[in-house]
Amino acid sequence: MNFKIIVIAALLIIAPLIMLAQTPPHPNGGLAPTGTNGPVGGGAPVANGTFILFALAIAYGTSKFYGQYKEEKKEV
């Protein structure tokens, strides 16, 4: 049991030294720099996903709140 914990701990400590990340891509896809460089991460729309996540969080919170309210009402 203790040997397993030591081996797992050693692997977790050594893992960041073994795993190497790649260098980030060139902002222009490796082409010569021009005046029309796009953003480094691409042109992914973030606003729509944020709105959906926010709406789902509100719906989840509302359902939890309503469930608690319903339980309190049932007890009284």
**Which parts of 1-76 are beta strand (E)?**
none
SS3 content of the chain, % helix, strand, coil (to 5): 60, 0, 40
Which pLDDT value is given to residue 69? 84
Which pLDDT value is given to residue 57? 96
- Residue 40's nearest CA partner among 50, 25, 54 is 25
Instruction: Kindly report the number of other CB atoms within 10 A of residue 28's CB atom.
Output: 13
Cα 50 to Cα 31: distance, rounded to the nearest angstrom: 32
Which pLDDT value is given to residue 61? 95
Which pLDDT value is given to residue 41? 57
Which pLDDT value is given to residue 12? 92
The tens digit of pLDDT for each residue in 19-71 reads 877 776 666 655 555 556 555 555 666 677 888 899 999 999 999 999 888 88
